[in-house]
Chain A
Amino acid sequence: MMQSTILKTTALDFLSRQEETCSRTQIRSLLSLIVGPVFGLVYMLYMPIVFLSLLIMLLPGIAIAKSGPVAAKGDSEMCMGCHATEGMTKKLKNNTTLSVYVNATQLSGSVHSFLGCNDCHKDISMANHPADRTFKSAEDFRATTTKLCVTCHPVASFTEKRMHYQIMTQAKAPPCVECHSAHSVQRVAAIKASQSNNDYCLGCHKKNIRISSTQSTVSIDGSQLHSSMHKNHDCASCHTGFSKEAHPLASFANRREHSITLSGTCKHCHADKMAQVEGSIHSSMIKEGNLNAPVCTDCHGFHAVRDKAGFNTMAGAPCKNCHQDVFTAFAESVHGKARLNGNSAAPLCSSCHRAHDIKATALNEGIKFSCLGCHKNAGALHEKWLPNAALHMDSVSCAVCHSSDAGGRVFLRLVDKHTGKPFTEEQVVKLLGEHYRELIGLMNPRSSDITNEGLYKIVKKLNASSEHMKVTLIGSISVSRGIEAHNLTLKQHAVKECEQCHSAKSDFFRHVSLVIMKDNGEAELFNTDQEVLGSMFSVLPASQFYALGSTRLKMLDIIGILMVAGGVSLPITHLLIRKVTAPIRKKRKEEHS
Chain B
Amino acid sequence: MKKIELHPLPVRIWHWINALSFLVLIVTGIQLRYREMVGIMPFRTAVDIHNFFGFLLTGSYFIWLVYYLATGKIRLYIPDLNLKRLLMSMLNQAKYYGYGIFIGDKNPFHATPDDKFNPMQKSSYLIIMVVLMPLLIITGVLLWNVKGFAKWITMAGGLKIVDTTHVFLAMCFLTFLFVHIYLATLGTTPIEHIKAMFTGYEELDEEHSH
Q: Residues on A close to B: CB < 8 A?
A: 387-388, 390-391, 394, 472, 497-499, 502-505, 538-540, 542-546, 548-549, 552-553, 556, 559-560, 563-564, 566-568, 570-571, 574-575, 577-578, 581, 584-585, 588-589
Q: Is the CB of A560 within 8 A of B179?
A: no
Q: Is the CB of B175 within 8 A of A567?
A: yes
Q: Across the interface, do B159 and A559 meet the contact criterion of CB distance under 8 Å?
A: no
- Tell me if A545 and B171 are in contact (CB < 8 A): no
Contact A543 B159 (CB under 8 A): yes
- Please list the 4 inter-chain residue pairs (A to B) with the smallest Cβ-Cβ separation, ordered nearest first: A543-B158, A567-B175, A571-B182, A585-B104
Among residues of B, the one whose C-beta sits closest to the C-beta of A555 is B164
Q: A387-B47, A556-B167, A589-B104 are in contact. Are A574 and B182 (CB under 8 A)?
A: yes
**Which of B97, B178, B182 gathers most chain A CB within 10 Å?**
B178
Interface: B35 (CB within 8 A): yes
Once A499-B43, A539-B160 are accepted as A-B contacts, the answer to whether A584 and B146 lie under 8 Å apart by CB is no
Mask: chain B, 95-123; 1 = CB below 8 Å from A; 0 = not: 00100011110000000000000000000
B51 within 8 A of partner (CB): yes
Residues of B within 8 A of A553 (CB): 160, 164
Picked from A502, A505, A564, A578, the residue with its CB within 8 Å of the CB of B43 is A502
Q: Within 8 Å CB of B175, what residues of A? A: 563-564, 566-567
Given contacts A394-B147, A546-B160, A571-B182, contact A578 B101 (CB under 8 A): yes
**A497 contacts which chain B residues (CB < 8 A)?**
42-43
**B203 on interface, CB distance cutoff 8 Å:** no
Q: What's the least CB distance linking A226 to chain B, in Å?
A: 58
Closest to A561 in B: B171
Instruction: Tell me which residues across on chain A come within 8 A of B179, comparing CB atoms.
Output: 567, 570-571
Residue of B nearest to A539 (CB): B160
- Interchain CB contact under 8 A, A499 and B42: yes
Nearest residue, chain A, Cβ from B175 = A567
Give bound CA distance, A570 to B186, whole Å.
Answer: 14
Apart from A390-B147, A553-B164, what 13 extra A-B contacts exist at CB < 8 Å? Answer: A387-B48, A387-B144, A388-B145, A498-B42, A542-B160, A543-B157, A544-B160, A552-B167, A564-B175, A570-B178, A577-B102, A578-B102, A589-B104
Provided the pairs A387-B47, A546-B163, A548-B33 are in contact, do residues A563 and B171 lie with their beta carbons within 8 angstroms? yes
Q: Give Cα distance in the complex from A90 to B132, angstroms.
A: 105
Which residues does chain B contribute within 8 Å of A545, judged by CB atoms?
Answer: 159-160
A10 to chain B, nearest CB (A): 162
Does B154 lie at the interface of the complex (its beta carbon under 8 Å from any beta carbon of A)? yes
**Bound CA–CA A352/B161 (angstroms):** 36
User: In the complex, A570 Cα to B183 Cα: how many Å?
Assistant: 11
Q: List 10 A-B contacts (CB under 8 A).
A: A498-B43, A539-B164, A553-B164, A556-B167, A556-B168, A563-B171, A563-B174, A564-B178, A567-B176, A581-B103
Cβ of B32 within 8 Å of any chain A Cβ, yes or no, is yes
**Other-chain residue from B44, B146, B161, B182 in contact with A539 (beta carbon distance below 8 A):** B161
On whether the beta carbons of A559 and B171 are closer than 8 Å, the reply is yes
Chain B, residue nearest A393 (CB): B147
* A544-B159, A559-B168, A563-B172 known; A549+B148 contact, CB < 8 A: no
Contacts of A548 in B (CB 8 A): 32-33, 163
CA distance A274 to B94 in the complex (A): 81
Min CB gap B82→A, angstroms:
29
Is B34 an interface residue, CB under 8 A from the partner? yes
Given A545-B159, A559-B171, A588:B44 Cβ within 8 A: no
Expressed in whole angstroms, the Cα–Cα distance for A539 and B157 within the complex equals: 9
Measured between beta carbons, the chain B residues less than 8 angstroms from A542 are 160
Q: Which residues of B contact A546 (CB under 8 A)?
A: 159-160, 163
Complex-state Cα separation, A570 to B178, whole angstroms:
9
Docked Cα-Cα span, A246 to B35, in Å, equals 77
Task: Check: B177 CB closer than 8 A to any chain A CB.
Answer: yes
Q: Is the pair A570, B146 in contact by a Cβ cutoff of 8 Å?
A: no
B207 on the A face (CB < 8 A): no
Report Cα–Cα, A570/B32, bound state, in Å.
27
B148 shortest CB reach to chain A, Å: 7
Bound-state Cα–Cα, A418 to B49, Å? 37
Given contacts A571-B179, A588-B103, contact A391 B146 (CB under 8 A): yes
Instruction: List residues 167-210 of chain B with CB under 8 A from any CB of chain A.
Output: 167-168, 171-172, 174-179, 181-182
A163 to B157 Cα, complex, angstroms: 72
Give the shortest distance, in Å, between A18 (CB) and chain B (any CB): 153
**A388-B147 contact given A556-B168, A563-B171, A570-B178, CB 8 Å threshold:** yes
What CA separation (Å) do A391 and B44 show in the bound complex?
Answer: 16
CA distance A424 to B144 in the complex (A): 33
Inter-chain contacts of A505 with B (CB < 8 A): 36
Q: Does B147 lie within 8 Å of A564, measured CB to CB?
A: no
Residue of A nearest to B182 (CB): A571
Residues of B within 8 A of A543 (CB): 157-161
CA distance A549 to B176 in the complex (A): 23
Are B182's CB and A544's CB within 8 A?
no
A410 → chain B closest CB, angstroms:
14
Q: How far is the CA of A232 from the CA of B173 in the complex (A)?
A: 82
Q: Is the CB of A585 within 8 A of B32?
A: no
In the complex, what's the smallest C-beta–C-beta distance from B99 to chain A, in angstroms? 10
Give the docked Cα–Cα distance between A585 and B99 (Å).
12
A502 with B35, Cβ < 8 A, contacts A568-B178, A578-B101, A584-B102 known: yes
Report A560 CB to chain B, min CB distance, Å: 4
Among B145, B157, B175, the one with the most A-chain Cβ atoms within 10 Å of its Cβ is B175
Q: What is the bound-complex CA distance between A512 and B42, given in angstroms?
A: 27
Partner of A549, one of B35, B97, B177: B35
